[in-house]
């Protein structure tokens, strides 16, 4: 039995269509998949997995309809919202980075909850953070910037 374990995280190396090499009928997505983009491995976070799931679903539908395959999978980073603790959050999307007390950040973040360019997990985190200001919630993000 040949294992494809390319990194310390024991993730399965996949092709650009998220299939296992030599097995076009087997797909691996999310934090169990290892795929490089722009020379770096994709992070094992929900935002990547959600886009991978949509891509594989579209690919399977196209195969069943005898249509050509879509272009190779490409992850689009839509930003991060990190709630660090009571009353403090960081929002980063593209070149925009906001950090402030949650009460002053809320008017800037609230419109993003319904925006299609922000993933559903980020909207859920934002909604949870505004609904429960005393709850500490964390998503992925660069906490090094807090130092």
- Out of 3.50.50.60, 3.30.365.10, 3.30.70.60, 3.10.20.30, which CATH number does the structure's domain 1-76 have? 3.50.50.60
C-alpha to C-alpha distance for 2 and 77, rounded to whole angstroms: 33
| Cβ neighbours of 6 (radius 10 Å) | 14
C-alpha to C-alpha distance for 96 and 78, rounded to whole angstroms: 11
- Domain extents for the chain? 1-76, 80-146
Q: What would the pLDDT profile of 57-88 be if each residue is shown by its tens digit?
A: 999 999 999 999 999 999 999 888 777 777 77
* Bridge partners, residue 98, by sequence: 91
C-alpha to C-alpha distance for 34 and 41, rounded to whole angstroms: 7
pLDDT score of 102 more than 60: no
Q: What would the pLDDT profile of 18-64 be if each residue is shown by its tens digit?
A: 999 999 999 999 999 999 999 999 999 999 999 999 999 999 999 99
C-alpha to C-alpha distance for 48 and 34, rounded to whole angstroms: 11
Cβ–Cβ under 8 Å, residues 47 and 119:
yes
């Amino acid at each position: 039995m040949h294992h494809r374990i390319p990194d310390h995280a024991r993730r399965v190396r996949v092709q650009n269509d998220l299939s296992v090499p030599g097995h076009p009928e087997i797909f691996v997505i999310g934090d169990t998949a290892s795929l490089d983009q722009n020379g770096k491995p994709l992070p094992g976070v929900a935002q990547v997995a959600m886009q991978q799931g949509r891509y594989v679903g579209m690919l399977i539908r196209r195969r069943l309809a005898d249509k050509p395959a879509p272009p190779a999978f490409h992850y689009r980073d839509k930003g991060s919202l990190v709630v660090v603790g009571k009353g403090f959050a960081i929002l980063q999307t593209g070149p925009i980075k906001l950090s402030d007390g949650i009460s002053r950040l809320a008017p800037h973040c609230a419109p993003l909850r319904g925006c299609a360019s922000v993933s559903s997990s980020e909207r859920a985190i934002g909604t949870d953070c505004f609904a429960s200001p005393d709850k500490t919630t964390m998503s992925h993000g660069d906490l090094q910037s807090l130092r």
